[in-house]
């Protein structure tokens, strides 16, 4: 059976207190909506329709960045969840399979839950996803009769007895497209909120003699994000899951709770991640690497056997070849570090390439920015850069070259040449002692005066 996803994402999310549409708030650097799309992607949907409203243009951009085949439709006014699904009608014209409705602010749905919903669809016309709520609060209540779901009552419209029900509506459902749009056409807005409730399709379906049931999942999967506190809690849940997955794949996390992962972080087996490491978006670490404590990585690639940190910062475009070494207080941006090359202490390498087995001394800086434009530094293989070298880009150093400590390199250095650019040292006999005497005398006079 082919499926289509309809993801509701038009709501404003007033309680987020934000100018950003709710579904674009990130969890582990990926918008909530993208998490929802990825959750639904396991069904290999034939079509994906996102219903946008508040911040529709930004929502459209995020949706298409994740899946360029998705259709984003506009719900101009938020008249309720049934009205929202109805906006997908035209986009699903001619689609004869099942529609699965998801919420853009419910990022944690697990694949097996969706599969169980579709399995239940084989014996029922309409399947709702429910959960036993620890605190049922304002959720819609599922009124069951045995295996059959009779209706969903919104909290606002529920009687005392109905409010006592703990089996609640997640809002997600699965139904044949034609049947669903037929049911939605019959939904009115005569209720406490004056909205078109998607939940009303249950009672309408039952009146038509259709078979309706509810499948249960654990509450964590249906967690909706409505506030910044919910967002933080959702991020924590994501982190816990992602860390568990890495451990399961054979990655060592010495202190898992202190490692922050992004939704797209990829780490190979036998890599060791020390405590307090932060992964921004776009990081790939191959197997057998070591990321030492307090490092921050973003948009970079770390090859096999490389060692990063402690206290290193890899910024976008940092490409570390096998067995490269990046040490403490080193920042790398848009630069390739060759196989076995070492950048171990207090250094900035930006817009550069460093050849294999070169050694960059402490305090080296690539002066890549002239205040207007960025320039590249190219360093060959087996180069030795003395400590505190300033490399004023654009500049190229050939294989086997060397720079003297403290050199300011402004011209290219040929292969195997030594670049020295610093004033000659002069030692003045006895001068230090005289200076000390003078200064101490001055200090003594001052103390006497006060
Ligand atoms: C809805 C359900 C409720 C369920 C709860 C679970 C209805 C009537 N109620 O209530 O039974 O327990 O979710 O969280 O369906 N949206 C639109 N356009 C609209 C209205 C909503 O796109 O016109 C989107 C929202 O952005 C959100 C989702 O639909 O992603 C749910 O809307 P929300 O207003 O949060 O519904 P609830 O009142 O929470
Ligand atoms: Mg809600």
**Backbone angle region of 144, left / alpha / beta, with phi > 0 → left and psi within -120 to 50 → alpha:** beta
Q: What is the pLDDT of residue 442?
A: 97
Query: How many residues does the structure list for the chain?
Result: 450
Q: Which residue has the tokens 């101490």?
A: 440
Q: What is the pLDDT of residue 224?
A: 86
Residues 6+ apart with CB under 8 A from 34: 62, 66, 263
Q: What is the pLDDT of residue 124?
A: 98
Q: What is the pLDDT of residue 144?
A: 97
Q: What is the pLDDT of residue 1?
A: 78
Q: Which long-range contacts (CB under 8 A, 24 or more apart) does 111-117 make?
A: 111/39, 111/42, 113/215, 113/217, 113/221, 114/39, 114/40, 114/42, 114/43, 115/42, 116/215, 116/217, 117/172, 117/173, 117/174, 117/215
Nearest partner of 106 among 186, 179, 168, judged by Cα: 168
CA dihedral 191, 196, 197, 203 (to 10 degrees): 80
Task: Count CB neighbours of 66 within 10 A.
Answer: 19
**Backbone angle region of 282, left / alpha / beta, with phi > 0 → left and psi within -120 to 50 → alpha:** left
Average pLDDT over residues 435-440: 98
Is-catalytic flag, 25?
no
Nearest partner of 277 among 305, 306, 311, 250, judged by Cα: 311
Nearest partner of 6 among 62, 55, 56, 63, judged by Cα: 63
User: 381-429 pLDDT, tens per residue?
Assistant: 999 999 999 999 999 999 999 999 999 999 999 999 999 999 999 999 9
- What is the whole-number distance in angstroms between the Cα of residue 140 and the centre of ligand 2? 10
DSSP 98: E
Which ligand approaches the C-alpha of residue 138 most closely? 1
At residue 101, the 3 state secondary structure works out as: strand
Give dist(CA 342, CA 381) in Å, integer: 11
Average pLDDT over residues 342-370: 98
User: 79-123 pLDDT, tens per residue?
Assistant: 999 999 999 999 999 999 999 999 999 999 999 999 999 999 999
Q: Which residues pair with 377 in a beta bridge?
A: 352, 395
Does the pLDDT value for residue 341 go beyond 90?
yes
Nearest partner of 252 among 271, 265, 268, judged by Cα: 271
- What is the whole-number distance in angstroms between the Cα of residue 388 and the centre of ligand 1? 60
Residues 6+ apart with CB under 8 A from 335: 317, 318, 319, 349, 350, 351, 352, 353, 354, 366
Q: Which residues pair with 367 in a beta bridge?
A: 392
Q: Specify the residue with its C-alpha closest to ligand 1, atom 37.
A: 139
- What is the whole-number distance in angstroms between the Cα of residue 74 and the centre of ligand 1? 16
| pLDDT band for position 148 (cuts 50, 70, 90) | very high
| pLDDT band for position 310 (cuts 50, 70, 90) | very high
Average pLDDT over residues 34-41: 96
H/E element holding 57?
Answer: helix 56-66
Expressed in angstroms, the distance from the first to the final Cα of the chain is: 94
Q: Specify the residue with its C-alpha closest to ligand 1, atom 25.
A: 11
Q: Which residues pair with 168 in a beta bridge?
A: 131, 141
Nearest partner of 261 among 291, 288, 289, judged by Cα: 291
Does the pLDDT value for residue 223 go beyond 90?
no
Residue list, ligand 1 pocket, CB within 6 Å = 8-11, 51, 53, 75, 78-81, 83-84, 103-105, 139-140, 152, 154, 168-171, 197-199, 224
Q: Are 179 and 173 in contact (CB under 8 A)?
A: no
Work out which ligand 1 atom sits closest to the CA atom of 80. 23
Of 208 and 224, the structure prediction assigns the larger pLDDT to: 208
Q: Are 54 and 33 in contact (CB under 8 A)?
A: no
- What number of helices (H) and strands (E) belong to the chain? 9, 33
Give dist(CA 109, CA 102) in Å, integer: 9
User: 195-205 pLDDT, tens per residue?
Assistant: 999 999 999 99
Q: What is the pLDDT of residue 450?
A: 82
Rounded-to-5 percentages of helix, strand, coil across the chain:
25, 30, 45
Average pLDDT over residues 315-319: 98
E runs forming strands in 135-237: 141-145, 148-153, 167-176, 212-216
Does the pLDDT value for residue 53 go beyond 90?
yes
At residue 146, the 3 state secondary structure works out as: coil
Residues of the chain above pLDDT 70, percent: 100
Using only C-alpha atoms, the chain has a radius of gyration, in whole angstroms, of: 31
**Choice among 54, 301, 345, 375 that is catalytic:** 345
Q: What is the pLDDT of residue 275?
A: 98
- What is the whole-number distance in angstroms between the Cα of residue 225 and the centre of ligand 1? 11
User: 234-289 pLDDT, tens per residue?
Assistant: 999 999 999 999 999 999 999 999 999 999 999 999 999 999 999 999 999 999 99
């Amino acid at each position: 059976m082919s499926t289509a996803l309809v993801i509701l994402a038009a709501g404003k999310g007033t309680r987020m207190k934000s100018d950003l549409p709710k579904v674009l708030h990130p969890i582990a650097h990926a918008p909530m909506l993208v998490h929802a799309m990825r959750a639904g992607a396991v069904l290999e949907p034939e079509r994906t329709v996102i219903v946008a409203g508040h911040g529709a243009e930004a929502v459209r951009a995020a949706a298409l960045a994740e899946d360029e085949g998705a259709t984003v439709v506009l719900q101009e006014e938020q008249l309720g969840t049934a009205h929202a699904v109805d906006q997908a009608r035209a986009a699903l014209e001619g689609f004869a399979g099942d529609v699965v409705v998801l919420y853009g602010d419910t990022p944690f749905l697990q694949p097996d839950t969706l599969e169980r919903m579709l399995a239940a669809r084989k014996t029922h016309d309409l399947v709702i996803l429910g959960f036993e709520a620890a605190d049922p609060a304002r959720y819609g209540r599922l009124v069951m009769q045995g295996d059959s779901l009779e209706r969903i009552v919104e909290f606002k419209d529920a009687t005392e007895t109905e409010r006592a029900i703990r089996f609640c509506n997640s809002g997600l459902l699965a139904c044949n497209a034609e049947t669903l749009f037929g049911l939605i056409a019959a939904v009115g807005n005569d209720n406490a909120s004056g909205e078109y409730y998607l939940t009303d399709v249950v009672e309408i379906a039952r009146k038509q003699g259709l078979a309706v049931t509810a499948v249960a999942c654990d509450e964590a999967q249906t967690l909706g994000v409505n506030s910044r506190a919910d967002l933080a809690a959702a991020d924590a849940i994501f982190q816990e899951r992602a860390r568990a997955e890495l451990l399961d794949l054979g990655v060592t996390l010495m202190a898992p709770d202190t490692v922050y992962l992004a939704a797209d972080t990829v780490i190979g087996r036998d890599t060791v991640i020390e405590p307090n490491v932060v992964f921004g978006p776009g990081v790939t670490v191959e197997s057998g690497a070591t990321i030492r404590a307090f490092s921050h990585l973003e948009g970079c690639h770390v090859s096999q056997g490389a060692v990063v940190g402690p206290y290193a910062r890899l910024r976008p475009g940092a490409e570390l070849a096998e067995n490269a070494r990046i040490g403490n207080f080193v920042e790398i941006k848009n630069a390739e570090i060759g196989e076995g090359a070492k950048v171990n202490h207090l250094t900035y390498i930006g817009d550069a390439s460093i050849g294999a087995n070169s050694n960059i001394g402490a305090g080296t800086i690539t002066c890549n920015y002239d205040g207007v434009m960025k320039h590249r530094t190219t360093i060959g293989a087996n180069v030795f850069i003395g400590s505190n070298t300033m490399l004023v880009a654009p500049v190229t150093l050939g294989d086997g070259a060397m720079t003297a400590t403290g050199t300011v390199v402004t011209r290219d250095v040929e292969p195997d040449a030594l670049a020295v650019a610093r004033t000659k040292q002069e030692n003045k006999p006895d001068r230090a002692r005289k200076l000390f005497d003078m200064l101490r005398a001055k200090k003594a006079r001052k103390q006497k005066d006060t």
